[in-house]
């Protein structure tokens, strides 16, 4: 869409009543949503193992203890 087409459409939309502007927005959103590709379902299990290298060699209990100690100053 050319810039002038957008400008013309915007001017026409602004000239509409609030009710018709709301209706136009809802209809445009519905069209955009229906034409968008479907979101791929993901599984939380895909995150398994992420960041594993960061924690390599760190004792979990020692880490928790040091964090707790930092809360109390």
CB within 8 Å of 16: residues ≥ 6 apart: 24
Mean pLDDT of 28-49: 89
Q: Which residue has the higher pLDDT, 3 or 12?
A: 12
pLDDT tops 70 at residue 2? no
Give domain status of residue 46, yes or no: no
Total domains in the chain come to: 1
Q: Is 24 exposed, middle or buried (0-12, 13-18, 19+ CB in 10 A)?
A: middle
Give domain status of residue 43, yes or no: no
Give domain status of residue 24, yes or no: yes
Give domain status of residue 13, yes or no: yes
Domain limits for position 11: 3-35
Q: What's the pLDDT at 43?
A: 93
CA distances from 10 to 4, 18, 37, 38, 50 (A): 10, 14, 26, 29, 46
Q: What percent of the chain has pLDDT over 70?
A: 96
Give domain status of residue 40, yes or no: no
pTM: 0.46
């Amino acid at each position: 869409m050319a810039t002038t087409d957008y400008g013309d459409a915007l001017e026409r939309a602004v000239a509409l009543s609030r009710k018709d502007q709301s209706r136009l927005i809802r209809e445009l959103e519905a069209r955009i949503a229906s034409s968008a590709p479907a979101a791929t379902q993901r599984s939380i299990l895909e995150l398994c193992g992420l960041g594993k290298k960061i924690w390599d060699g760190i004792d979990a209990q020692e880490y928790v203890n040091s964090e707790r100690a930092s809360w109390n100053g």
